[in-house]
């Protein structure tokens, strides 16, 4: 069974400002994580790839998430594990679990995680500390690769990726379309024209 969703992952969340760094409190942290076979600790021969968005609430008591994958076949589960990059660690939170293997080309799972969802030995405070330290990773498991087929670290790079603006649509004129920037430059131009007119009027009055 192939599950296809056309809506892009970025549309799942409203755009929010970045709040926090890897050395700061976990409250308000946001991550955009690339999920790839190359990030797995074992050899994986797969064309699958994915992306996962995680956003910690301002009070630090919950984590919203959305997971997207392409060419991911026979997926059985997805988790957040504690562990540094290139290391394997225990499951701390479930992102999804399928009764039967499923194929994905689009949205995989969305939801909100809280302390009640913890399945490992960590407390929520300990998990939050690992999150701040970059020692948490997302891992999607399949029948062919039960230890994980695509994986990505919730680290500083993923925080920086969450800060990047969405890709702007092409205008077809060798540039991109961005209504916000267009309005900004229009405002600057208007101020410049107005300032020049005022300067010329004062010169003529003098």
Percentage of the chain lying above the pLDDT 70 cut:
67
Q: What confidence tens digit (pLDDT) does each residue in 147-198 have?
A: 999 999 999 999 999 998 755 333 333 333 344 444 444 444 444 444 445 4
Half-sphere exposure of 113 (CA within 13 A, CB side): 23
Mean pLDDT of 3-23: 37
If DSSP codes are grouped into helix, strand and coil, which group holds residue 69? strand
The CA R_g of the chain, rounded to the nearest whole Å, is 22
Chain centroid to CA 83: how far? 19
- Interior angle at CA 79, CA 74 and CA 84, nearest 5: 120
């Amino acid at each position: 069974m192939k599950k296809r969703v056309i809506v892009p992952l970025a549309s799942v969340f409203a755009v929010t400002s970045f709040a926090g760094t890897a050395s700061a409190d976990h409250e308000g942290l946001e991550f955009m994580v690339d999920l790839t076979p190359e990030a797995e600790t074992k050899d994986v021969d797969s064309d699958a790839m994915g992306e996962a968005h995680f956003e910690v609430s301002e009070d630090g008591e919950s984590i919203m998430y959305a997971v997207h994958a392409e060419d991911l076949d026979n997926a059985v589960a997805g988790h957040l594990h504690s562990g540094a990059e290139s290391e394997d660690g225990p499951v701390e939170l479930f992102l999804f679990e399928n009764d039967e293997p499923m194929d994905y080309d689009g949205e995989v799972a969305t939801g909100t995680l809280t302390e009640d969802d913890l399945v490992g030995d960590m407390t929520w405070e300990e998990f939050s500390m690992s999150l701040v330290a970059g020692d948490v990773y997302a891992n999607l498991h399949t029948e062919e690769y039960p230890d994980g087929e695509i994986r990505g670290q919730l680290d500083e790079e993923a925080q920086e990726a969450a800060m990047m603006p969405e890709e702007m649509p092409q205008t077809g004129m060798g540039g991109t379309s961005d209504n916000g920037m267009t309005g900004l430059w229009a405002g600057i131009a208007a101020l410049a024209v107005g300032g020049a007119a005022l300067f010329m009027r004062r010169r003529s009055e003098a």
